[in-house]
Amino acid sequence: MIIEREQDVTAAALAVMERTPDPRLREITVALIRHLHGFIRDVRLTEAEFREATAILSEMGRLTTDKHNEFVLMAGSLGISSLVCLLNNGADGNTETDQSLLGPFWRLNSPRVENGGSIVRSETPGAPLFVNGRVVDQDGRPVAGAEVDVWHASPVGRYENQDPEQADMNLRGKLTTDVDGRFSFRSVMFVGYPIPTDGVVGRLLKAQGRHPYRPAHLHALIFKRGFKTLISQVYDPADPNIESDAQFGVTRALLGKFVWHDEPHSTAPDVAAPWYSLDHTYRLEPGEAVLPRPPIE
């Protein structure tokens, strides 16, 4: 097709996309051209901005390594990761879901912990936290024998793999639900932390006057044959950044019931007040039990 006017470029590109043999790839590429060309017209993208855009993508590629993914960080910072999650869970976006973002720090082979045990593996000053979880199916029936990986940042907002002062696998553990679908463990109360800001995403946040913080959260990955693997985060509503998560991950369903206690603990006499508790029920959806690829070793 010989192009005569700017409108012709879109028609020519769409005609080529329409010939894609695979139907899903065809659907995606046709919509992509329609939206991208529409976006460029909307903002009347200049030549200088286009050159800048390609330079930014090149830089994001250079910044991405085995240990850091600037594209995942950008997708989160634009709300894309959260949108994809919510569209594909909770009965395709129609009901509440406990699914949330995996984040960059899940590790395979967390050490096994008995219910009621501690996931604190090296001296970690902080208020004690007692977590009581329950795993149920869509009808609220308990799911026994589910494997529950939990992990969280320290009371100063660092994961063990980022912090030489913490033991390997500190604040991580793998539990199994009992016949009532329950699991429980002891840890220390954690805080929110900033996402990495030394790359393209950091410059974007700065240009937009945004802070880089994620509110305090407890990660969980729950695996049980017969159910879709649940990747969840439970957030602390008392966190100062609960309304402004840099990654748009906080949903109403995932606001946790963290309770501050100043009375003695009834079953743990070694615990000095104040301490925290968290009770949360995780709901599994039907689907395939597959593990994601661990973002780090």
- Tell me the residue type at 141: R
Q: How far is the CB of 180 from Fe ion (least distance, A)?
A: 28
Instruction: Give CA–CA dist 49/181, Å, rounded.
Output: 54
Q: How far is the CB of 269 from Fe ion (least distance, A)?
A: 32
- Is 58 buried (19+), middle (13-18) or exposed (0-12) by CB count in 10 A? exposed
76, 90, 103, 212: which one contacts Fe ion (CB under 5 A)? 103
Task: Compute and round to an integer the Cα radius of gyration of the chain.
Answer: 23
Q: How far is the CB of 291 from Fe ion (least distance, A)?
A: 18
Q: How far is the CB of 277 from Fe ion (least distance, A)?
A: 20
Number of H helices, E strands in the chain: 7, 10
Closer Cβ to Fe ion, 103 or 181, answer by number:
103
Residue 86: phi and psi, rounded to 5, are -70, -30
Instruction: Give CA–CA dist 276/189, Å, rounded.
Output: 7
Largest CA distance in the chain: 82
Closer Cβ to Fe ion, 33 or 106, answer by number:
106
Q: Name the H helices within the chain.
A: 6-17, 23-43, 47-63, 70-77, 80-88, 90-93, 200-207
Closer Cβ to Fe ion, 152 or 283, answer by number:
152
Q: How far is the CB of 282 from Fe ion (least distance, A)?
A: 17
* H or E element in which residue 295 lies: none
Binding mask 146-185 for Fe ion (x = CB under 5 A): ----------------------------------------
> Which one of 43-51, 83-91, 102-110, 239-247 is the stretch in contact with Fe ion (CB under 5 A)?
102-110
Residue 101: phi and psi, rounded to 5, are -80, 145
> Which one of 19-27, 98-106, 279-287, 289-297 is the stretch in contact with Fe ion (CB under 5 A)?
98-106
Contact 233, 219 (CB under 8 A): yes
Q: How far is the CB of 34 from Fe ion (least distance, A)?
A: 36
Q: How far is the CB of 219 from Fe ion (least distance, A)?
A: 6
Residue 59: phi and psi, rounded to 5, are -65, -40
Closer Cβ to Fe ion, 103 or 212, answer by number:
103
> Which one of 56-64, 101-109, 116-124, 255-263 is the stretch in contact with Fe ion (CB under 5 A)?
101-109
> Which one of 97-105, 106-114, 128-136, 255-263 is the stretch in contact with Fe ion (CB under 5 A)?
97-105
Size of the site for Fe ion (CB under 5 A): 1
Please give the residue whose beta carbon sits closest to Fe ion in the complex: 103
Question: Applying CB under 5 A, which residues contact Fe ion?
Answer: 103
